[in-house]
A and B are shown apart, each in its own frame.
Chain A
């Protein structure tokens, strides 16, 4: 019914845009990472021909990832922070999503509206709010002092790893709950009824039916928030600002914005991308699968 050339013509502007402003930039990043450095001004000279790439800078950077070296510490710290924030988010987010999916009745659309609300409040605004609350004279310390839980106000915002993990949880948990909710909503209730009819207790039905059936949802939602958390540098900067809590993203940020050494920064970014490639691939395959299901 439509001419055959129509759909490719429709797609071309967008595809060309993505090639020029997504794929080519990544090639530029690779070119800088494997390029030379001007001996006088220390600014990078990108190399576009793969045959002329120089691997010394990359190897030097990689060597820093060996146990005991600089980036090893940062890498382990990043992994621990992301791991803790992810666990914390799941421990809070799963019960919330489960309750709304399974037990909320008339209040369901209201609850979903409230869950979506933080989504539309700018991330920086939420971090500002968080910092205001946790500042030395903020409400959190006032409450802690008033209830005599502590006698001296704790310093939350100066290199406190607890604040960084809490900040990450607060920042990313909305992005975890919604996909979890969608996954839990998709579970067929009759399966649960069957489990109960066959004598499973509520806990058993949850452990043997709901939890296994939401496994993909948990994995997917975790990947969705783990990816940006690994590339985060602003959250630790805002809630801590100390080198003792810096993550890999902070290292990259420093090499470009602090003491400018873009070649090292580019190498570091590439290493991070390679490390995250598995997570990204998993996420992409899941989206593609979901779209295929929608199309059929």
Chain B
């Protein structure tokens, strides 16, 4: 440091050496040096992170809070009522409004069928694509990646066109919605199962073969049991993305009778909704979180004793498809 700088640089040294010069740092200076603390964790990052987490979660908590509102407003708190908008209001609660119950049932129906179809299909596809070699295999792998990167709007428009003008024996409705949901869920299953397939390696199967197992015995007794954590996560992932889906369900909907919960929420947000919309959304949130929570703990239990992979014990691993 040159002498010239020494004379003109009290700005930077104020916070660190105030006592020598008999000047106490002001509150703002103290706050600034605390916030941008260069000697450890920069606390501005801590503040941003916690602010972000707060802002991402608080609105949802507030929305759930208003599902317990005593009045019919979703913006002004009028007292606590546990049951009103869930089942005790005679006409507008989740339980008594037939359109809301129908939407919930439709959402669950689509998610259930999607799980039943997309998971086995995806597991087989993952096994096939991971080990099949050749040009056709590369082409298939290429096709498999498409649904992951295509914006849902395009898929929705394309699917609605194909059901209107080509596969016209399938009219828009539940069947079309299930077909659409499976199409976009399939690739997620493939990504999850394939990740697991690579992490278990081939040595177990080779050992089984050396010990005299036939190929099918190896598949049944070694490969599928080892894949079961991934199969389980896939089931829950498919449930979560299917229940969350709005675009595909909407484009393949037959009208009010095929509305899912997200479509109901979308249709009513601009039309002075009852808190029962918040209530049904809250039910959906609880169900999804329960599914994901169960999946997380069952998966941890199934893979106990195995080395933890990646940060967060596999949370980011489960997101393999988005992992760049």
User: Residues of A at under 8 Å CB distance from B?
Assistant: 1-3, 6-15, 17-19, 21-26, 28-29, 31-32, 44, 46, 92-93, 95-96, 98-101, 103, 108-109, 111-118, 120-133, 135-139, 170, 173-175, 178-179, 181-183, 185, 202, 216-217, 219-221, 224, 227-228, 230-234, 237-238, 241, 249, 252-253, 256, 262, 265-266, 269, 272-273, 276, 280, 283-284, 286-288, 290-291, 294-295
Q: Would A122 and B288 count as touching, CB distance under 8 A?
A: yes
User: Judging by beta carbons under 8 Å apart, are B198 and A113 in contact?
Assistant: no
Q: A120-B288, A287-B321 are in contact. Are A181 and B59 (CB under 8 A)?
A: no
Neighbouring B residues of A175 by C-beta, 8 Å: 322
User: Counting CB contacts under 8 A, is B231 at the interface?
Assistant: no
Q: A13-B125, A15-B140, A256-B160 are in contact. Are A125 and B45 (CB under 8 A)?
A: no
Query: Which chain B residues numbered 272 to 324 have a C-beta less than 8 Å away from chain A?
Result: 277-278, 281-282, 284-285, 288-289, 292, 310-313, 315-316, 319-324
Which residues B138-194 have CB closer than 8 A to chain A? 140-155, 157-162, 164-166, 179-180, 182-183, 186, 190, 194
Report how far A179 CA is from B202 CA in the complex, Å: 28
A239's nearest neighbour on chain B, judged by CB, is B269
In the complex the two chains form, what is the Cα distance from A290 to B324 in whole Å? Answer: 7
Residues from chain B with Cβ under 8 Å of A249 in the complex? 153
Q: Considering the complex of A and B, which 5 residue pairs feature the smallest CB-CB distances, nearest first?
A: A11-B128, A14-B125, A231-B151, A220-B324, A10-B128
A25 to chain B, nearest CB (A): 4
Partner of A294, one of B124, B151, B161, B198: B198
Instruction: Report the stretch among B15-23, B24-32, B242-250 that lies at the interface.
Output: B242-250
For the residues of A in contact with B, the DSSP-based class is helix
> B229: CB under 8 A from chain A?
no
Can you list 27 A-B pairs, Cβ within 8 angstroms, ordered by A? Answer: A7-B137, A10-B125, A10-B132, A13-B124, A17-B183, A18-B146, A22-B155, A92-B52, A99-B41, A99-B49, A111-B49, A112-B312, A120-B244, A125-B284, A132-B278, A133-B59, A170-B59, A179-B319, A182-B311, A182-B323, A202-B38, A224-B324, A227-B149, A227-B150, A272-B153, A287-B321, A290-B320
Is B82 interfacial (CB-CB < 8 Å)? no
Q: Would you call A185 and B154 a contact (CB within 8 A)? A: no
B147: chain A residues within 8 A (beta carbon): 18, 22
Binds A, one of B2-10, B60-68, B92-100: B60-68
Binding site for A on B (CB under 8 A): 38, 41-42, 44-46, 48-49, 52-53, 55-57, 59-60, 62-63, 66, 73-76, 121-122, 124-125, 127-132, 136-137, 140-155, 157-162, 164-166, 179-180, 182-183, 186, 190, 194-195, 198, 205-206, 209, 215, 218, 240, 243-244, 246-247, 251, 261-262, 265-266, 269-270, 277-278, 281-282, 284-285, 288-289, 292, 310-313, 315-316, 319-324
Q: Which of B146, B166, B182 contacts A17 (CB 8 A)?
A: B182
Q: Which residues of A contact B45 (CB under 8 A)?
A: 95-96, 98-99, 103
Q: Are B56 and A14 in contact, with the CB atoms below 8 A? A: no
B contact face: mostly helix, strand, loop, or mixed: helix
A32 and B161: CB pair below 8 A? yes
Instruction: List B contacts of A95 (CB < 8 A).
Output: 44-45, 48-49
B41 contacts A103, C-beta separation under 8 Å: yes
Whether the Cβ atoms of B63 and A21 lie closer than 8 Å is: no
Q: Which A residues lie within 8 Å of B49 (CB)?
A: 95-96, 99-100, 111
